[in-house]
Amino acid sequence: MALIRAKDHSPGEDQVSRSGQPESRRALTLRDVSEASGVSEMTVSRVLRNRGDVSDSTRERVLEAAKRLGYVPNKIAGALASQRVNLVAVIVPSLSNLVFPDVLGGISEELEDSGLQPVFGVTNYLADREEAVLYQMLSWRPSGVIVAGLEHTEAASAMLRNAGIPIVEIMDVDGEPIDSVVGISHRRAGLEMARAIVRAGYLRIGFLGTKMPHDYRARKRLEGFEAGLAETGVELADKEFYSGGSALLKGREMTEAILSRTPDLDFLYYSNDMIGAGGLLYCLEKGIDVPGKLGLAGFNGVDLLDGLPRKLATMDACRHEIGRRAAQIVAGRSGSGLIGGEIVELTPVLQLGDTIRNA
């Protein structure tokens, strides 16, 4: 199920033209940077192309103004300089995480016969890396941007706001979008998982997470999870964090570490299915009674779970559908009647599997 609504617009905001773009929306130009920095357009051009004899103070003033405005140079030369290309910039944190290939698959599927071609950039969950990737992609003047998450640097947010093209932030609706957004509420996902665990009678609960603290969505799930536990007076008994990526081996290692430290835990909630699967394999190898003595749950609902000895409890993150719906917005195919400011909230489905005992 999806909730679709229009983003609230304050009086005086851009009006929509018949072409589908706000009438006052346009990409920034050299003139904007020139006026903001107080130097000529020729000087701005020299600075941004790193050419010509320009003083350090002038160079610094121009670069500061360009960054503050979100200006991105246009790499399309000559006759094409005033046009857009048929590329859609898609920026995700990782390709090794099993979630994002499914998202990209949904985007590619929807754009297949649209005349638009997706191009992908990877940020490794680093805000500065996202800013650099976005800068490079926008310089080729794509027809739209699809970017994972709602959290960006100030410079990246400025570039997105002033790109003059459809922007769709994906995966997460817990925050204020720049333009359109397609995703789920990760806080609600964590809340619902906590309620299911407590209903099943588990009270000594641990949380295990990777890519902490850079994975904002995992952090929001943890916030919702702790809020759900607090409803019945339960607190997390322990946490195990790892700043690197997700892997079966890392899930085994993290599970061994937290159980060695806090052996009376009766439930482990993992930030994703990959480390959850590693934890399940560790428990089965050690002869731990799952779900009787120890319950387990992950997040994402990836196909990997189908090959495990037991079905890990999880929550489907709607990743393929998120990709499809985002691509529809960029391609003007959403069918909602909205142009810009579209908010699509999908509802993930809790799958109890074989690792949560019957309530």
What confidence tens digit (pLDDT) does each residue in 64-108 have? 999 999 998 876 654 454 467 889 999 999 887 778 999 999 999
Q: For the chain, give the mean pLDDT.
A: 88
pLDDT digits (tens, 9 = 90+) for 35-76: 999 988 888 887 887 767 789 999 999 999 999 999 988 766
pLDDT of 118 over the 90 cut: yes
Query: What is the distance, to the nearest Å, from the Cα of residue 355 to the centroid of all Cα atoms in its chain?
Result: 28
Q: Judge whether residue 267 has pLDDT over 50.
A: yes
* Cα–Cα distance, 188 to 339 (Å, whole number): 27
If you average pLDDT over residues 218-223, what whole number do you get?
96
> Tokens at residue 217, please?
């969505």
Residue 339 has pLDDT above 90, yes or no: no
pLDDT at position 354, please? 95
Query: At 337, is the pLDDT very low, low, confident or very high (cuts 50, 70, 90)?
Result: low
Q: Note the maximum CA span of the chain.
A: 74
pLDDT at 310: 94
Min mean pLDDT across 31-45, 142-156, 220-234 is at 31-45
Buried b (16+ CB within 10 A) or exposed e, 5-41: eebeeeeeeeeeeeeebbeebebbebebbbebbebee
Mean pLDDT of 203-228: 94
Q: How much is the average pLDDT of 118-147?
A: 95
What per-residue confidence (pLDDT) applies to 173? 97
For the segment 171-202, what is each residue's pLDDT rounded down to a tens digit? 999 999 999 999 999 999 999 999 999 999 99
pLDDT score for 18: 31
Name beta bridge partners: 300.
316
Helices (H) and strands (E) in the chain — how many of each? 11, 13
pLDDT at position 142: 93
Taken in order of first residue, the domains within the chain and their CATH numbers are 28-71 (1.10.260.40), 186-318 (3.40.50.2300)
